[in-house]
Amino acid sequence: MTATLPIAPASALDALDALESEAIHIFREVAGEFDRPVILFSGGKDSTLLVHLAVKAFAPAPVPFPLLHVDTGHNYPEVIDFRDRLVERLGLRLEVAHVQDWIDDGRLVERPDGTRNPLQTVPLLDTINEHRFDAVFGGGRRDEERARAKERIMSLRDSFGRWDPRKQRPELWNLYNGRHAPGEHVRVFPISNWTELDVWRYIQREGIELPSIYYAHQREVFRRDGMWLAEGPWGGPRGDEALVKKSVRYRTVGDGSCTGAVESTATTLDEVIAEVTASRLTERGATRADDRLSEAAMEDRKREGYF
Amino acid sequence: MTRDLLRFATAGSVDDGKSTLVGRLLYDTKSVLADQIEAVQRASVDKGLSTPDLSLLVDGLRAEREQGITIDVAYRYFGTPKREFVLADTPGHVQYTRNTVTGASTAELAVLLVDARNGVVEQTRRHAAVLALLRVPRLVLAINKIDLVDYDEGVARAIEKDFDELARTLGFASDAVVTIPVSALAGDNVVERSERTPWYEGPTLLGHLESVPVTGPEVAAPFRMPVQYVIRPRKDELHDYRGYAGQVAAGTVAPGDEVVVLPGGARTTVAAVRTADGPLDSAAAGRSVTVLLDDDIDISRGDVLASAAEPPRVTDELDATLCWLAEKPLRPGARLLLKHGTRVTQVIVGAVGERLSLDSDVPLWEPAPEQLGINDIAHASLRTADPLPVDEYADIRATGSFLLIDPPTGNTLAAGLVGTPLAVAR
């Protein structure tokens, strides 16, 4: 006995519409199944995209989640300004966890290299516990890094906030299983299936405003480990590292100590997209020093509870 | 510029070169950037290899690199001027069923690898049966390592013939399966046409992936939409706004359509189909929308909006096929949770029926085992606490599928398919 498998006609959705619909579906699943979700927000392009998609998922009602910014204290002023304007314009609630508070009361110790990116994990987990957040949205994408390629869209974290890649739940169809015990939470990645170029094309299509540092501008930078870093309260430049003025832009927004700028003259979205298309480096390879620490730097941080 | 998206999965046994094939696809479509290649070159030199090991591009976990195997499904992205691709890269290791089910559940096409030296082996039959069970609409049989059989046409034709017989038995239509001889290591017929297989006239693997029609998620089926969330703005100017948010799971919906709300059974008419960007003339499967209705009916998360003319069956007694994915065995009488669409309800597992045996040349249903273990596929009868609007999985994937969840741990135990989607001999 045999049956013939059906072949349905082509779907009309283009790639960006399909990705948008998937992300909106994920936001609505979480709103329907969890009590206290929160959106991690850094002011970067991916988390700004998340907020835009959340607005679209619940329109014309307001976004039913607050934002959480884990602030390393090593910020670009343009990003903080952008964050505050966005929150104001959309009428969102913003929680800020200042890494400095954890250093001041001794729960964290400043690292010798001055970078605070790895120090974000403890303030993040403490804040999740304190507010009893049960679903934490992040802008992580599987194309960013090999360990992130293994991440589920809804990913359980134990009561220590840890990720165990060998114990992930299978993710079948679009039936997401977000069940968790008290004290555990779920990380949710609505833009898992987007690439850096998808993000930029969508930002262009939707006219999404970003912090100005994503576009080429004149900035005083210095060279360290092959990256152009900006001066900042984290202790750069040191010794014989000389500041020079360059036309640069950022591909990611993170802690100032480890996020490099790229030389660029791209001042418009068209120019940025052309530059990203032609680039021979990934965004993390180009501009994130912390991923260069070891072969498995991201996996190790994620296991500890980093997003 | 509009390009569509093809979601596909790989399958095949250990050491038949899946990671290398995926690495080759990424490398030859220039989807791998210089820093990633440098990292692979460094790691290959460290391992004492003379050429870069492309599988290192995709094996992302520490343990995978240490053991040289792929442990878990990973997702890869690449694009060409014609199309964007999401690839579920599944491991071929012992946990075959679990991983193949995970990768295949959302795939519109699967690339099944065989080693040209070994041809169709037990693992090929298992994977093909699971892909047929999951109703993956299209299949590519990639005969890999064709360089190791001296690009011999006879070898490839024999494997193709063997596989065609299997595919027919499993219910794949003849135009749904394409066979391509490749060498992932040397790059033959993956992205570039090979001059060493002059007898092969079909497309390269990438050429086929770029041109195969994207099977939309059941656009032609009757309308189904599980309600995810009720949108009530509670603002003065939108005082009476009540929008039902969801992703169209099958068919299309348009203003004026008559719909039924299930399991309750109330009927009404669609007043508007909206997104945040405004009203739509119609929305097809895959699109997330908000539906407004003519009548004020009590509707909440878990309900399903469906075509009034062709509604799903509403039942609390399910005959289903289960793919058991967990270490913890299933015993008849177990009380579990079931997630169908946007509804979670309690379920009691009744009798476990026949189990699919994948050990012989063709899959066979064999007498019921006492309990189900990891990777078992079997029929079971289930009784649910709430009535569910279901379709046969063979007709509509979205409303014919469900999860079984372990109440104490919350773990996903099984993939469930309503009915008997694999019609093979008993």
For A285-304, give the secondary structure using H, E and C: HHHEHHHHCCCCHHHHHHHH
- What's this model's pTM, rounded to 2 decimal places? 0.92
| Cross-chain Cβ contact B4/A193 below 8 Å | no
Look at residues B244, B275, B307 and tell me which one is the last residue of a structural domain: B307
Q: Answer yes or no: are the C-beta atoms of B23 and B55 closer than 8 Å.
A: yes
Residue with tokens 């979670």: B344
Of the candidates B60, B105, B214, the beta carbon closest to that of A146 is on B60
Say what angle helices A15-33 and A196-206 make with each other, to 10 degrees.
90
Q: Which residue has the higher pLDDT, B261 or B234?
A: B261
Q: Answer yes or no: are the C-beta atoms of A223 and A214 closer than 8 Å.
A: no
> In total, how many domains does chain B have?
3
Q: Strand A185-188 relative to strand A154-157: parallel, antiparallel, unpaired? A: antiparallel
CATH 3.40.50.300 fits A15-197+296-304, yes or no: no
What average pLDDT is seen over chain B?
89
How confident is the model at residue A10, as a pLDDT? 44
Q: Which residues of B touch A55 (CB under 8 A)?
A: 276
Q: Which residues of A touch B2 (CB under 8 A)?
A: 14-15
Instruction: State the DSSP string of B340-397.
Output: ETTEEEEEEEEEEEEEEE-SSSS-EEEPPPSSB-TT-EEEEEEEEEEEEEE--TTT-T
Q: Is the N-terminal amide bond of B263 cis, ω within 30° of 0?
A: yes
- For residues B121 and B110, what is the distance between their CA atoms, to the nearest angstrom? 17
A202: part of which helix (H) or strand (E)? helix A196-206
Contact A4/B at CB under 8 A: yes
pLDDT bucket at B93, cuts 50 / 70 / 90:
low
In Å, how far from its chain's centre is CA B422? 15
pLDDT bucket at B94, cuts 50 / 70 / 90:
low
| Cross-chain Cβ contact A172/B411 below 8 Å | no
Q: Is the N-terminal amide bond of A60 cis, ω within 30° of 0?
A: yes
Q: Which of B287, B299, B413 to mutate to test the interface with A (most CBs of A within 10 A)?
A: B287
Tell me, yes or no, whether B86 and B72 share the same domain: yes
Query: Is residue B425 a part of any domain in this protein?
Result: no
Tell me, yes or no, whether B92 and B130 share the same domain: yes
CATH assignment of the domain containing B20: 3.40.50.300
* Cα angle, residue B285 at apex, residues B282 and B287 outer, rounded to 5°: 70
B179: part of which helix (H) or strand (E)? strand B177-181
- Alpha-carbon dihedral sign for residues A154, A158, A159, A161: negative
Tell me, yes or no, whether B188 and B266 share the same domain: no
Tell me, yes or no, whether B169 and B93 share the same domain: yes
- For residues A240 and A257, what is the distance between their CA atoms, to the nearest angstrom? 17
For A208-254, the pLDDT digits (tens) are 999 999 999 999 999 888 888 888 877 778 888 889 999 999 988 87
Of the candidates B215, B233, B394, the beta carbon closest to that of A8 is on B215
Of the candidates B77, B221, B285, the beta carbon closest to that of A195 is on B77
For residue B46, give every residue at least 6 positions away whose Cβ sits within 8 Å of its Cβ, in sequence order, or none: none
Residues above pLDDT 90, as percent of chain A: 57
How confident is the model at residue A235, as a pLDDT? 74
Q: Which residues of A touch B79 (CB under 8 A)?
A: 195, 197
CATH assignment of the domain containing B398: 2.40.30.10
Q: What is the CA radius of gyration of chain A?
A: 20
Contact A244/B at CB under 8 A: no
For B16-54, the pLDDT digits (tens) are 788 889 888 888 887 776 677 777 777 777 778 777 777
pLDDT bucket at A291, cuts 50 / 70 / 90:
low
Which phi and psi angles does B166 have, rounded to 5°? -60, -45
Q: Answer yes or no: are the C-beta atoms of B400 and B418 closer than 8 Å.
A: yes
A187: part of which helix (H) or strand (E)? strand A185-188
How confident is the model at residue B69, as a pLDDT? 52
Our CA-based measurement puts residue B240 at a distance from the nearest CA of chain A, in whole angstroms, of 12
Look at residues B283, B307, B331 and tell me which one is the last residue of a structural domain: B307
Q: Number of C-alpha atoms within 13 angstroms, CB side, residue B136?
A: 30
- Alpha-carbon dihedral sign for residues B392, B397, B400, B406: positive
Tell me, yes or no, whether B148 and B14 share the same domain: yes
Query: Is residue B392 a part of any domain in this protein?
Result: yes
The ipTM of this complex is 0.92
For residue A158 the two structure tokens come to: 């134990």
Q: Answer yes or no: are the C-beta atoms of A5 and B173 closer than 8 Å.
A: yes
Span between the terminal Cα atoms of chain B, in Å: 50
Query: Is residue B376 a part of any domain in this protein?
Result: yes
Query: Is residue B53 a part of any domain in this protein?
Result: yes
Contact B411/A at CB under 8 A: yes
Instruction: State the DSSP string of A215-235.
Output: S-EEEEEEEETTEEEE-BTTT
Contact B324/A at CB under 8 A: no
For A102-125, the pLDDT digits (tens) are 999 999 998 887 788 888 899 999
Our CA-based measurement puts residue B39 at a distance from the nearest CA of chain A, in whole angstroms, of 8
What single letter denotes the amino acid at residue A278? A
Q: Is the pLDDT of residue A287 over 70?
A: no
For B277-314, the pLDDT digits (tens) are 999 999 999 999 999 999 999 999 999 999 999 999 99
Tell me, yes or no, whether B203 and B264 share the same domain: no
Tell me, yes or no, whether B22 and B133 share the same domain: yes
For residue A204 the two structure tokens come to: 């262009």
Q: Which residues of B touch A6 (CB under 8 A)?
A: 135, 137
- Residue B95 structural domain: 5-211
Tell me, yes or no, whether B263 and B327 share the same domain: no
| Cross-chain Cβ contact A2/B168 below 8 Å | yes
pLDDT bucket at A155, cuts 50 / 70 / 90:
very high
Query: Is residue B424 a part of any domain in this protein?
Result: no
Look at residues B211, B233, B251 and tell me which one is the last residue of a structural domain: B211
pLDDT bucket at B213, cuts 50 / 70 / 90:
confident
- For residues B45 and B27, what is the distance between their CA atoms, to the nearest angstrom? 18
Report, as an integer, the average pLDDT of A90-109.
93
Q: Answer yes or no: are the C-beta atoms of B136 and B109 closer than 8 Å.
A: yes
In Å, how far from its chain's centre is CA B50? 37
For residue A235 the two structure tokens come to: 């202790």
Tell me, yes or no, whether B192 and B289 share the same domain: no
For residue A303 the two structure tokens come to: 């296991």
What average pLDDT is seen over chain A?
87
Nearest Cα residue to A243 out of A215, A258, A224: A224
How confident is the model at residue A185, as a pLDDT? 94
Our CA-based measurement puts residue A150 at a distance from the nearest CA of chain B, in whole angstroms, of 5
Report, as an integer, the average pLDDT of A256-284.
85
Q: Is the pLDDT of residue B95 over 80?
A: no
Tell me, yes or no, whether B251 and B351 share the same domain: no
How confident is the model at residue A2, as a pLDDT? 39
Tell me, yes or no, whether B192 and B257 share the same domain: no
Q: Which of A36-45, A132-141, B179-188, B217-226 has the lowest mean pLDDT?
A: B217-226
Q: Is the pLDDT of residue A3 over 80?
A: no
For B116-154, the pLDDT digits (tens) are 999 998 888 888 999 999 999 999 999 999 999 999 999
Tell me, yes or no, whether B158 and B235 share the same domain: no
Q: Is the N-terminal amide bond of A237 cis, ω within 30° of 0?
A: yes
Question: Where, residue-wise, is CATH 3.40.50.620 in chain A?
Answer: 15-197+296-304
Q: Is the pLDDT of residue B58 over 70?
A: no
